Structure 1
Amino acid sequence: MRLPRSHVVWLALIAIALFVLRLFSNQHYGFHRDELALLDDARSLAWGYVAYPPLTPALARTSLELFGDSLSGFRVFAALAQSIAAVLAGLIAREMGGTRATQIVAALFTALAPFSMVAGGLMQYVSIDYLWWVLLAWLVLRLVNSGDARWWLAIGAVIGLGMLTKYTMVFCVAGIVIATLATPLRSHLRSRWLWLGVAISLLLFLPNALWQWRHDFISLDFLQFIHARDVRIGRTRDFLVEQLYGNAGLMALPVWFAGLVWLTLSKAGRRYAVVAWMYLVPLLLFVLAQGRSYYLAGAYPMLLAAGCVAIEQFLHRQGPLRTGYALTGTALLTVWVVAMAMASGLIGLQFSPVNSAGWRISRAAHDNFAEQIGWPELVEEVARIYHALPPAERAHTAVFTNNYGEAGAINLYGPKLGLPTAISPVNSYWYKGYGATPPQTVIVLGDTPEDIADAPAHCEFAGRVRNRHNVPNEETEDHPDIFICRDLRIPWPQAWPKMQKFG
């Protein structure tokens, strides 16, 4: 069924407005620590990395080729993903029978979701992963409504792309599998198109699977380490509670919950029960696996769309509304959307000056903005220490970082200041080694005085990480000291294999 042009125009306008807003918002603050590592990986493309599959670095490389190291340009694909997701939410509402107004409201609720607002401002794999979940929901609904089994080809392709983006796509796949078995879609098990879709997804994922095999499935070790750390420090403790406010937002809770009830209990909604399964199965699996709350973020646009349709149908059953009631309802909805926009924008958009009241509000919700502050100053301090060394010693000096953000910052800002490429034992940096010539002197970042005391070398304090805004973050609070280490007692070829770590 062809989408009316007027519907396309309104959804496109929402997407364009959101994208333009991102372009202006995303040029403030600085690169996030995750983005700094992604920049490095984008310069060395491979079929796999320790911390994530290869698609996001490939998109980041495209951004580098198109826009250089422009902050806003680097985030174009993240912003675009959120804009497309909003359009898809409107299309999902249409597949469920929503009118043009309902489609627009569904798109707005999705665009204003707190997770989407933050994800559109950071080039991370979670930003792209979010899009694949929403796209899969729309494709599955197209399959349900059309009965055309060829949609399985597109579903398989998106699953493959999703697996090349973030491995938690397997939880979404589990939802689709159960939805297929539990609904009339099980008749498609006899269709060659379904199995061709499976083959496409496996074929797309194959290069990364082979990379994992050649690297002893190192990403499994990484994921086990990160998961154990998150559980230990309590990041998974409030998974269920955070579903109420962290992904779609507290103000949208009545909408998506109404959608879930409509999908599971109403006769009209049960036709689209596949969507409920695509939410409930990953929800249960993430609870059992003790996942982070944002892992399920991509499942909420389809519930928001369902909720908008459910509310529309409820109002329709009440009969024609009087003009006064209709105007009042429109006014209330407008106020509701504006309030959501203000709240989510304050939390997710990067407009507030550093240390302003708006900044402090966003900081209370998350630390993503704080982790974008101070990287150029960190590199400048390292450069000061490096150039203060005698030239003969400097020629054999390396910059050693204990986290990927520091390594990415050194490699981004350091060349202009005459610094060598950073060496680091963290994640994929470990595979790059310590250079052709073993260093004799090492400038060490990301260590504490207690930890450096155990180093097999003579180490002394050399400087401290600060930023001009005095923003407390991981670099200034957890390990601000910079050290110089000399007289290493263990040869690098012997030490390096034992240094590998995850972060």
Structure 2
Amino acid sequence: MRVPRGALLTAGVLGLVLVLVGNRYGYHRDELYFIEAGHHPAPGQPDQPMLVPLLAAAWHAITGGHLWAFRILPAVAAALTALVAALTCRVLGGTTRHQTAAAILTAVTSIVPGTGHLFSTTAFDLLGTATTVWLLLRALQHPSVARWLLVGVAAGITSEVKVLVLTVLACCAVGLVVAGPRRPLLTAGPWLAATVTALLAAPFLIWQARHGWPMREITANIAAGGSTSSADRAAVVPLSFLMVGPLLSIPFVAGLIHLWRRPQLRWLTIAYAVFLAFVVVTGGKAYYPAGFFPAALAAGTMPTLDWLDARHRTRLAAAVLAISSIPTAAFSLPLAPPGSPVFEMATAVNPDTAETVGWPAYVETIREVSRALPDRDNAIVLTRNYGEAGMISLARRESDADRELLPPAYSVHNGYGEWGPPPADSTTVMLIGTFGRIYPDPLTTELQTMFDRCDLVARLETPDGVDNDEDGAPVHVCRGLVQPWDEAWPGMRRLG
């Protein structure tokens, strides 16, 4: 399948830029968590399937712990997403110019480079969902068993990144039932695709069912604002347009209108609208609809580019797009110095950026506390979120000196809570408390009553005056365990 050279060049430039900035700032909390989670193989964990954690742990080992190399895979995922937009444009009837334009528009959205910078589930989910939509369009246009099988494989693999793709497919089914074409739904192809998807998604779904569906509690926590990237329901639609980009929202909306005006493609506009309503009603994150963005932009390039050609304004539009890409890059990529005014504006739009700053300083604080412990051999680190535990776990994995100096890390948060409590003889605890949107200050009653004594010995401080969820988190040293770990652990665990 040939791809226009312009689209290939666009994808290559995007991937190269992401690799070049891959070493900026530092790890994100989720990246630290994924690396450790991959060392605890299971069919699933409370907050997500296991494909990305397993990939993160393996790739981190292969790349030798170099951050820029670790982030090559999400950069490749972002580049491939731009190519998928071009391929989607071809299925929709776009010319070579339209396909190249679709790749360019997708590459300069806020969401694609922003997620492609981090080893996150979102980067791979965006690629997988966009690919599933493209393959679905192909299967509906020229049905065959092989094409429907590819839809099922793509959706099934993506479901092991995030189960959100299953909701996307359900919304596509609604669109097809409402607007057609309905005839393909009566053939064996879609049911084959659904069967393959279900088989590939089954390990995680069965794990969730056997553990009481913990993702329901996590979803409720997100809707209540418990995540850094949570958004008010009223802000979901405006923020989703912001993730496309203010200027790019024009071809994006034009694409949805273009799809609506074509009876055989109207179902895709309906599917997007239904999914967007689902996210608003359930209190999901504003970037959840991003899997539809490449298809909508691919559709929008055709009327937009044709309109510009008719008025001889293509070069002007290209210049405006290039200029508008500068603030987009500044806000979505780690370019500005931490603590600078541009950095502050960027983190106001994308708070996750601030969560990549400060981890080496946090580890050094824990080293200093650990050096002062006379009973370090029986000590552990207990944290209130998985990022803090992940930073200790990674430091111990990467350095023999830290393996000797830093106590092993445990956490009550999500997957860490699933992996079990500390050993029974761990009666000295370096307790790292997290504040802000996730857990309250002071320590919760459960932890206050677990020890005879807790002394505040330090606080995590983020360099350069960066304000994030770790800044100011207290470090206590607690002794005198009141209740055995295996009895206390179930009540201490937190999902969110």
Letter in 2 for 1:464: R
Deviations 1:35-94 (A, max 9, x none): 111111122222101111111112213312421322122222211111111111112112
Q: Measured at CA, do residues 230 and 427 of structure 1 come closer, stay the same or move farther in structure 2, by a change above 3 Å?
A: closer
Match of residue 13 from structure 1 = 9
Q: Aligned partners of 2:337, 2:225: CA distance in 1, in Å?
A: 33
Q: Aligned partners of 1:124, 1:256: CA distance in 2, in Å?
A: 25
> For structure 1, which segment, 236-245 or 91-100, has the greater mean C-alpha deviation from structure 2 after superposition?
236-245
Contact 1:260 1:276 in 2 (8 A): yes
Contact 2:26 2:357 in 1 (8 A): yes
Contact 1:130 1:297 in 2 (8 A): yes
Deviations 1:444-477 (A, max 9, x none): 1015763267343211111121133232211114
> For structure 1, which segment, 158-167 or 444-453, has the greater mean C-alpha deviation from structure 2 after superposition?
444-453
Letter in 2 for 1:288: V
3-state SS of 2:381 partner: strand
Alignment of 1:241 with 2:225, yes or no, is no
3-state SS of 1:483 partner: strand
Match of residue 278 from structure 2 = 285
Tell me how far 1:230 sits from its aligned partner.
4.6
Tell me how far 1:484 sits from its aligned partner.
0.8
Match of residue 437 from structure 1 = 424
Q: Aligned partners of 2:89, 2:416: CA distance in 1, in Å?
A: 44
Alignment of 1:410 with 2:404, yes or no, is no
3-state SS of 2:335 partner: coil
Deviations 1:294-334 (A, max 9, x none): 11112111111111112245467xxxx5xxx53xx132122
2:494 to 484, 495, 501: 501
Q: Aligned partners of 1:17, 1:27: CA distance in 2, in Å?
A: 17
Alignment of 1:466 with 2:471, yes or no, is no
Letter in 1 for 2:11: A
Q: Aligned partners of 1:272, 1:307: CA distance in 2, in Å?
A: 13
2:119 to 123, 140, 144: 123
Q: Aligned partners of 1:296, 1:452: CA distance in 2, in Å?
A: 36
Match of residue 303 from structure 1 = 296
Q: Aligned partners of 2:484, 2:254: CA distance in 1, in Å?
A: 63
Alignment root-mean-square deviation, CA: 2.2
Contact 1:112 1:340 in 2 (8 A): no
The aligned runs of 1:101-180 (5 Å cut-off) are 101-180=97-176
Deviations 1:179-231 (A, max 9, x none): 33234432123322221111111111111122223323223333233333459
Tell me how far 1:169 sits from its aligned partner.
1.7
Match of residue 422 from structure 1 = 409
Tell me how far 1:378 sits from its aligned partner.
1.0
Letter in 2 for 1:484: V
Match of residue 346 from structure 1 = 330
2:376 to 370, 386, 394: 394
Q: Aligned partners of 1:65, 1:180: CA distance in 2, in Å?
A: 44
3-state SS of 1:140 partner: helix
Match of residue 84 from structure 2 = 88
2:450 to 448, 456, 481: 456
Alignment of 1:476 with 2:471, yes or no, is yes
Letter in 2 for 1:445: I
Tell me how far 1:124 sits from its aligned partner.
1.0
Q: Gapped runs of 5+ residues in structure 1?
A: none
1:23 to 3, 19, 23: 19
Deviations 1:310-361 (A, max 9, x none): 2245467xxxx5xxx53xx132122122023212111112222222343233
Q: Aligned partners of 1:82, 1:282: CA distance in 2, in Å?
A: 22
3-state SS of 1:444 partner: strand
Match of residue 378 from structure 1 = 362
Match of residue 62 from structure 1 = 58
Match of residue 365 from structure 1 = 349
Tell me how far 1:149 sits from its aligned partner.
5.0
3-state SS of 1:442 partner: strand
3-state SS of 1:244 partner: helix
3-state SS of 2:366 partner: helix
Letter in 2 for 1:166: K
Q: Aligned partners of 2:449, 2:396: CA distance in 1, in Å?
A: 25
Match of residue 260 from structure 1 = 256
3-state SS of 2:458 partner: strand
Tell me how far 1:422 sits from its aligned partner.
0.4
Match of residue 438 from structure 2 = none
> For structure 1, which segment, 429-438 or 397-406, has the greater mean C-alpha deviation from structure 2 after superposition?
429-438
3-state SS of 1:423 partner: strand
Q: Measured at CA, do residues 378 and 78 of structure 1 come closer, stay the same or move farther in structure 2, by a change above 3 Å?
A: same
Q: Aligned partners of 2:105, 2:251: CA distance in 1, in Å?
A: 9
Match of residue 46 from structure 2 = 50
Letter in 1 for 2:46: V
Letter in 1 for 2:481: L
What's the TM-score, normalizing by structure 2?
0.91
3-state SS of 1:43 partner: coil
What's the TM-score, normalizing by structure 1?
0.90
Contact 2:308 2:314 in 1 (8 A): no
Contact 1:441 1:484 in 2 (8 A): yes
3-state SS of 1:400 partner: strand
Count of aligned pairs between the two proteins: 482
Identity rate, percent: 28
3-state SS of 1:237 partner: helix
The aligned runs of 1:193-208 (5 Å cut-off) are 193-208=189-204
Deviations 1:400-428 (A, max 9, x none): 10111100001112453221220111111
Contact 2:180 2:264 in 1 (8 A): no
Q: Measured at CA, do residues 414 and 315 of structure 1 come closer, stay the same or move farther in structure 2, by a change above 3 Å?
A: closer
Q: Measured at CA, do residues 107 and 53 of structure 1 come closer, stay the same or move farther in structure 2, by a change above 3 Å?
A: same
3-state SS of 2:244 partner: coil
Q: Aligned partners of 2:299, 2:88: CA distance in 1, in Å?
A: 8
> For structure 1, which segment, 182-191 or 75-84, has the greater mean C-alpha deviation from structure 2 after superposition?
182-191
> For structure 1, which segment, 220-229 or 424-433, has the greater mean C-alpha deviation from structure 2 after superposition?
220-229
